[in-house]
Structure formats: structure tokens, C-alpha cells
Chain A
Amino acid sequence: MSSAILFKDIDEPGLGTLAVYQRRGGYGDVLRKGLSMPREALVNELVESGLRGRGGAGFSMGKKASFMPKGGMDKYLVCNADESEPGTFKDRELMTKSPHMLIEGMILAAYAAGATKSFIYIRGEYAQQADILDAAVAEAYADGLLGENILGFDFSLELVVHRGAGAYICGEETGLLDSLEGKRGNPRLKPPFPANQGLYQGPTLINNVETLMTIPHILGMGAAKYAEIGVENSTGTKLISVSGHVKRPGNYEIELGMSAREIIYGLCGGIEGDHEVKLWFPGGSSSPVLTSDDLDLGYDFDSLAKAGSMLGSGAIIVVDDQTSVVEVCLKLAKFYRHESCGKCTPCREGTQWTVKMLERMKSGTATPMDLDIMASVQEQITGHCLCVLGDAMAMPVGSMIAKFRPEFEEYIEAARERAERELVASLDAGLVGSAT
């Protein structure tokens, strides 16, 4: 693909080693240029590029860095490599193949934020990737690219790879910070935001892997040129992870603004078995679902927001028309019930009751009213918790009920009739059995 930035040379053998990465221009002029700029100029460059966070929230990366207070206190940079959003697997690919690009991005981000200590919080399940990162960090230290006075500049940075141990909520930035401090990964009340009081109560900049890896490229090509890629308010390229019922699931780097139809039918070769699209999640399982009517939408932050959904982490999950929406809904709700940390009542109880009601629907003991109660539960979760885990279930479940209500009703009715028939059959069998 011509637009490839992050995925350019990604399959180059040995890209994960320092030697090959340097030969391809890594840790070179771009890093020198960044470290010789004044901090403010580097932050400005990031603001001008229009780079928005690639982890889910889509906040301007440059602005986030500009919120970091000045002063001599200990400041931290944390790379969020927890990547726990179902359907997302782009950071895994990037870290597997190009760990040094992440380190270079982190050096520049830390310099922009004035941080001298940095951490990569990687999910425990990615043990293979963590090993790759450990090796790359050791190489970088040995070569003077991390540690004291990087490349002879008056800037020092420590980098620690920290492995999590399996918890979706640790992808939430404040949950991640608590986990990194050696606690249970419960989210914190905001404000104060991490830029003021984050890790160890110090100012902390937290960014996604893909966001950080984009920084060297922005500096390399210049912010203005980077901003020309993509569409208004959604500049640059984005890695998207496409999964589910498509012929070629995988990671693709696209220019933001490409249509969803082009992605699903073009890049991914269409739907398995040549079925039709029933619904798709545009940004991970937490995003409100869209239907086959929305396939001509441009894949960018604003278009998806206008359609009532979000770009999120860039994970497209496609579900074909052979699959029951209720089954998808139940899978989803069970996941969020398992992952709710239990701190806020609406999320803890709301996820639990949503699962219970969906199970009632499945077993044929639900009434049509359950659907209305379930929809109202979703509304009562949204916006009422410390973090957005509850919303992350409420939004897709709510949107599924809104868009597929007739199918839910049919499902409830069919399950009820089936349960009735089974009951009658078992009673008949019992009566016959006792008569003989």
C-alpha cells in the first residue's frame, strides 16, 4: 500500500534488532532533530500534526502533552500496551515486529513531556511481545539510546517494561496506573487527571503504542505534511484490526476517511461464505454497532461519531446475517460482567443484570418487558461510573436493542415456545412413564 507509514518495511527480516532498525534510518536524524528542538516546539509540532490518540478516546496527542506542568518534579511517561479491547490486535503486531520504533517514539514523547522515567505497561498475555521489548530495551541501553544523556544531548530517560497479569480494566488509564503501582487495577476518580496527578502522584503522560510510534514519522515528514494525509480532524494513517466473518482478517494500515465498504469488501475480501453483513463494531466491542446501511461511511473520527458510534481503537468486528444478534449480545455482556472491577454499582450490577436478562431470553423464561428493562438498565449505566467500562457495555448493547428490536422479540418468543414444548414433552413422558 502506498500510504503505509507504520507498516512500511514491517515484514523486513530482523527489523526488531537495533542494527537493522538503525540501517533503516532509526535513531538517526529524526531523533537528533527532536532532541535539539525546544520542548515547546516539539509539542507544537505534535499539535499541528493533528495526531489523535489511537487507543480509543481519540484525544489530541499534542494537547495532552501540553497539559503536562512545567517544573522540576518527577514526571512520568507511560505507554499503554494493555490492548485489551476485544477485536484489537494492532499494537501486538507493532511491538512484535518493530519494538525499536516504540522506544524511539517514547524517547521523543518523554522529551516533549519533560519526563525522565518511562514505563511500558504491557498485558501479561503478551509474554512473547514483552520478551521482544525486553531484548530491545536492553539493546538500546547498551547503545546509549536510553539512560544518561541520550545521543550526547542533555536528556536522560529510564525505560521499564512492566507486565500486567490479565485484566481488561488495566487498559483504562487510571486503572493502569494503580496496577503499575502494584495494586488492584481499580480506576480512580477524575479529576485530578493523570497530567496533574498520575503515577506515584506525579504528572504523567499516558499514550497508546500506535500513537507513540507515529511520533518519529511525524517529525520525519514534518507536521504539515502529516496533516495532509487523511481527512479533516482525522489526520494520518490508522492501523485497523479487522476480525469476525471476513475472508481475510488481519491488520491493515489505511488512510483515515476510507469507506468501510472498501475496507470490508476490498481489503478483507468480503464476508465468509458470501453472506451479508448484519452488523459491525467500528471501534472494538465497546463501540455502538452499525449495520449494513452504514457501510458507505468514511472510516474517520467525525463520520463515525456522526453516525452515533466511534472509531475507538480501530478494531472492526464484522458479524454476518447468519448469526443471532442475541447471542452476540450475550457474549459481549458476559465479557463486561467478568471484567467489571466492581468499584461502581451501576457497572457491577448493570452488567450482571444484563447477563441475567439475556440468559432468561435464551432459556425462554423472559417476558417482552425484560427487553425494555434491559434497555433502561443500559441508560442508567451510561455516564454514572468512574470509568467507561460500564458505558462500554451499555453503548453496544443499547444500540443492538435499538437497531434489532424485532429480532430480539422474535428470539424471546421462539425461545419461550421452545421451552413450553419441552416442558409439555417432558410432562407427557413422565405421565406415560408412571402409567406403565
Chain B
Amino acid sequence: MSHGTQEEPAPTGDLTLGQHVGSGEVPRYQGGSRTPGWDDAVDLTKDPAVIPDPATVHVPEELRAEIEAHMAKYPDERSAAIPALMAAQRRHVWCSPEAIEQVACVMRLTPGYLVAVASFYDMLETSPVGRHRVYVCTNISCSLRGADALLERVVEEVGDDPDFNVRSFECLGACDIAPMASVDDVYVGPVELDDVPALIGQVRSGAEVLPEKQILRRKSVDPNAGSTS
């Protein structure tokens, strides 16, 4: 086997900084990477980023209004950090450096503080992901009812579609419909392996996901409770 002759995989298309490619609109950076600055070493001679200057940072008007509305709800404005990051993430798909800078600018916090917060929470993404979130619960109750096989099946069905963010998730609080998944915030279950192609197809086409299996349509009280059938 010869070494060193293998060429780096060529990035698809002509990629420049932050350019969107394909239908997924995942920003691509130098060399086709999805993470900007992934190979930059930490520069210890540089001062940490300060609170961004509103004069130089462009914040979309809607996002600014949303963040300011959140800040107004709390006695201490900093409480709005999570809702603000969520709002920015909805816009940018993940907490990109650009998203963090915009939130930092409106909330008058340092980007470092917000990255620290974002990295703590599972729903805030600190690296690029697809826009459709499919969280498959793989905690005890769901795994007792086949969640691991379900996750595998979903991953297989999605393939390398960059539009999807499929991940196993900790107990989503719906063990009554195990095995279940949260698909763009909609809880569905019990999801059979045969439901997966339909489910992923519905996400792709923007249709309602497994309407008959959504949790909001379930009755709270099982009419058969107590019967011995």
C-alpha cells in the first residue's frame, strides 16, 4: 500500500467562506469544512473577544426584536441568555460564531460567556448540523422497547442527507409512547421500524409527521385501565 499519494477529497463545487451549497444550506468554509476556524490554534497573545460593537455588527431586525422582548421579561436581563440563543439558533440552524456575536451584541455580553452557556445544553448546537432535528429517545424505558434499533433505522434512512440532525437523546419524557422520537419538536410514538421511511419522507416534504401517532392526539386516561385483557 502506498502512502502519501492519496489526494484530499475535493470539496464539492466552488466553496468560499460562508457560501451556502446544495439544498441543505449548510454553510461551508475553507476546504469544504463545516466549522470555521477548526484548525486555528488558540492564540494566547490575543485578548479574549470583548462585547461586540453595535456599530459594526449587523443584527437582523427580527432577531434583535425577539431577543429584546425576551430580555424585557426578566428582572435581570441575563436570564434571557437561553431563549436568545435559541432564537439565534432557529435563524442560523446552529450557534455559529456569527449567531453568538449577534446575541452578544444585543445582550451586551461577551461571546465567550454565551459559548460557555451554549456548550452546557444539549439542544444548543455548537457545531454545524442539519436543520431538521430528529431526537430519538434512547433512555431506559424506550430502549426496553427497541429504541436502539429505531435509532439505527432512522440513521440508515436519512443516510448522508445534510438537512438532518439525527441524534440519540436522553429521556424526552414520553415513555408512554416508547419507542418515540421528537421530530422538529413534535413528539411521535410508538414508532415502528416500518414507520421510519414514511416519517423521514414527511419531514423531507414538509408534511405533518405521523399524524395518528402524535402525542397531543392521545387520551390521558387509558379507557382499558384496570381491565385484565
Binding site for B on A (CB under 8 A): 1, 4, 7, 10-11, 74, 83-89, 91-93, 96-97, 117, 123-128, 160, 162-168, 179-185, 200, 241, 243-245, 248-252, 266-270, 281, 285, 315, 317, 319, 323, 328, 331-332, 335, 338-339, 341
Contact = CB atoms under 8 A, between A and B. Distances in A.
6 contacts: A86-B139, A124-B82, A127-B185, A128-B186, A166-B122, A317-B140
Contacts of A125: 123, 135, 169, 172-173, 182, 185
B22 interface: no
Contact of B176 (A85, A89, A123, A162): A89
Interface stretch (B73-81, B158-166, B192-200): B73-81
A249 B176 contact: yes
A1 B225 contact: yes
B11 interface: no
A7 to B, nearest CB: 6
Q: Top 3 closest A-B pairs, CB basis?
A: A243-B175, A166-B122, A182-B81
Contacts of A200: 75-76
A96 B216 contact: yes
Interface stretch (B13-21, B113-121, B202-210): B113-121
Nearest to A82: B173
Contact of A182 (B76, B173, B177, B226): B76
B201 interface: no
Contacts of B187: 128
B86 interface: yes
A53 B120 CA distance: 28
B154 interface: no
B152 interface: no
Interface in B113-141: 116-117, 120-124, 135, 138-141
B86 A163 contact: yes
Given A250-B222, A317-B140, A74 B75 contact: yes
Contact of B171 (A10, A86, A244, A248): A86
A86 B140 contact: yes
A287 to B, nearest CB: 12
Contacts of A164: 82, 121
A117 B75 contact: yes
A165 B173 contact: no
B122 A165 contact: yes
Given A184-B117, A319-B144, 8 more contacts: A74-B75, A87-B175, A124-B86, A181-B78, A182-B79, A243-B144, A249-B141, A332-B140
User: Which of B73, B85, B117, B221 is the most central at the interface, judged by chain A CB atoms within 10 Å of its CB?
Assistant: B221
B229 interface: yes
B171 A179 contact: no
Given A166-B121, A166-B123, A251-B176, A323 B225 contact: no
Nearest to A96: B216
Interface in B86-106: 86
A183 B220 CA distance: 35
